[in-house]
Structure 1
Amino acid sequence: MRTSTLGHSPVRVTELAFGAAPLGNLFSAVSDDEASAALEAAWDVGIRYVDTAPHYGLGLSERRVGAALRDRPRDSYTVSSKVGRLLEPAPGGTGDDLANGFAVPATQRRVWDFSADGMRRSIDDSLKRLGLDRIDVVYLHDPDEHAAQALDEAYPALERLRGEGVVGAIGAGMNQSALLTRFVRDTDVDVVLLAGRYTLLDQDGLAELLPEAQRRGTGVVVGGAFNSGLLADPRPGATFDYAQAPDDLLQRALRMKAVCERHGVPLRAAALRFPFGHPAVSGVVVGMRSADEVRDAAAMIGSMIPDGLWDDLRGEGLLPESVPVPKAESPCA
């Protein structure tokens, strides 16, 4: 599987990354054995980049990722985690964490903290849960409502930690492009993680963020290439950004699926290959909860997409003419 370097950092990532939010029991439980099998399958297909966060299952995702990787050669893989939410004990906490999307006991609570001290504490806590000696990439996680503190306190702290060699690359991860563009312009981040805003259905990131990242030499990792499900399996009731998809988007996705089928290509494959049409994109993160999902994602991203498919999407008004698309090439995986 092809790899690239994140921005000006020394950190390398495979173009397909294992998104480990599902291993934090996102929406429904995943057993330890299923989680282990999924990560084992990822290794077998050549995935060497795993993305996790304290937020995912109140630390469960980090613990499972660390357990799976602990016996692998440390220089053979890349792990990213995130900062901005500290986990605090919740004495007497009852029930589950499904209000935040995770089927785990609510024994801890999340505390927003983008202070300099919060950065060091969050990384120290993540290292303990992961059981690793370092975190290769650290993202500021969803600083939407904390922009000033994230820029003025959290970012300089991460920059110092990068200088000390505690982390290899630093960046920010969000579901919007505007603030990420500000990070790219105003700081020296190595990479940004853009979720859901550079897909077949939503190219918001193309207006400013991707050109600015290309100009600055900043890496871009794309998350949410399926827009939380609609582009994986467009059908009534499918989700777009974690809510039921509006009918107009559903119909658009169904038309895209029909075009793909005429070319003998699954819509999933086109959705995963599409972001690589822009030269700033280093990789795509896909959330996976089973070995079968891992193998499917690897097969999809390794598919060869004929140029005619993109031409037809444009011809039917499903992709703007100005949007760059990948060139047909040999399968990559």
Structure 2
Amino acid sequence: MRTTALGGSTVPVTELAFGAAAIGNLFRPVTDEAAAATVDAAWDAGVRAFDTAPHYGLGLSERRLGAALRGRPRDTYVVSTKVGRLLAPQDTDGDDLANGFAVPATHRRLWDFSADGVLRSLEASLDRLGLDRVDIALLHDPDDHAEQAFQEAYPALERLRDEGVVGAIGVGMNHAPLLARFLRDTDIDLVLLAGRYTLLEQEGSAEVLREAVARGRSVVVGGVFNSGLLTDPRPGATYDYLPAPQPVLERALRLKSVTERHGVPLRAAALLFPLGHPAVASVLTGARSADEVRDTVAMLRQPVPAGLWDELRAEGLLPHDMPVPAPSEESP
């Protein structure tokens, strides 16, 4: 699997990265055995970049990912985690489904983008992961804490990178204008852009991608299926985790019609599309089962003819100047 070094760093990521939110019981439970098998399937497919966060399952994602990677040579894979939320123990009989995770609410999340909060968060993450280091540290969703993130959290990450504690630093969120500001005003290596550079929509990401190219930084793209809409567009399908508005659903159905005329599943075109941009180093997708991983890898390897992208442009579904992947031959 193709690898790319992130921004100005030496940290390599595979073109497909594994997002570990789902094995943190995102929306519904996953067994320990299924979580381990899911990571194993990603490894067997050549994936060597793994992303997690304390937020995912109140630490469950980090614990399961660390356990699944344990025993593999540490210099053969890359792990990213995030800072900005500390986990504080609490006594409750409830669950965490209000935050999207089917786990007991044993902890509560505390926003903290202070320098001390960064250090405490990383220390706790290393303990849950069972690792001596993470390769990438990302500010996680600093939307409502931008100034503290710029003034306190970012300098702390920069110092950790300078000291060699982490290899690369960045920001992960779906708010494109703030990501563009981080690219302009700091020396981050990468941004993780979620759900805003997809086959369905690209308008909000133009500035981010332009700044990344101009400054030699990298973009990791998450949310390429727009909350599942681009896997199976139909009435009731979700977009941004809510039922898709009718105009958005209609656009997704038009995309599906074009891709299927070329013998390409919509989800394959959605997965491959971001990799055509020179700023994009990797596409990050989640999975909760080994079968889901294997399907994603099959879509990554799906041949896509140039005519598909040409027809999407002709139909007004892609801008004419939008980069697309190099054409590959039709399936036999």
Deviations 1:140-166 (A, max 9, x none): 000000000000000000000011111
Structure 2's unaligned 5+ residue stretches are none
1:51, 1:330 → 2: CA distance? 32
Residue equivalent to 1:65: 65
The letter of the residue matching 1:137 is I
The letter of the residue matching 1:65 is L
1:330, 1:257 → 2: CA distance? 20
Q: Would you identify which runs of 4 or more consecutive aligned residues in structure 1 move more than 6 Å?
A: none
1:29-48 to 2 correspondence within 5 Å?
29-48=29-48
1:70, 1:164 → 2: CA distance? 25
1:104, 1:269 → 2: CA distance? 32
Residue equivalent to 1:324: 323
1:65-214 to 2 correspondence within 5 Å?
65-90=65-90, 92-214=91-213
Residue equivalent to 2:6: 6
1:184, 1:329 → 2: CA distance? 32
1:8, 1:303 → 2: CA distance? 31
Structure 1 residue 207: Cα displacement: 2.3
Structure 1 residue 302: Cα displacement: 1.6
Residue equivalent to 1:19: 19
Sequence identity, in percent? Answer: 69
Deviations 1:281-333 (A, max 9, x none): 000000111000000111111222111001111111111212221121479xx
Q: What is the TM-score when the length of structure 2 is the normalising length?
A: 0.98
Asked if the contact 2:84/2:111 (under 8 Å) is kept, the reply is yes
How many residue pairs are counted as aligned between the two chains? 330
Higher alpha-carbon deviation: 199-208 or 267-276: 199-208
Q: Secondary structure at the match of 1:68?
A: helix
Asked if the contact 2:304/2:329 (under 8 Å) is kept, the reply is no
The letter of the residue matching 2:37 is A
The letter of the residue matching 1:241 is D
2:226, 2:104 → 1: CA distance? 27
The letter of the residue matching 1:105 is P
Structure 1 residue 139: Cα displacement: 0.5
Q: Does 1:269 align with 2:268?
A: yes
Deviations 1:229-285 (A, max 9, x none): 000111111111111101111111111111111111000110011001210000000
1:170–1:330: structure 2 CA closer, same or farther, 3 Å change rule?
farther
Deviations 1:19-64 (A, max 9, x none): 1000110000000010011001001111111100000000000000
2:161, 2:302 → 1: CA distance? 36
Asked if the contact 1:177/1:204 (under 8 Å) is kept, the reply is no
Asked if the contact 2:141/2:172 (under 8 Å) is kept, the reply is yes
Q: What is the TM-score when the length of structure 1 is the normalising length?
A: 0.98
Structure 1's unaligned 5+ residue stretches are none
Higher alpha-carbon deviation: 53-62 or 238-247: 238-247
Asked if the contact 1:7/1:191 (under 8 Å) is kept, the reply is yes
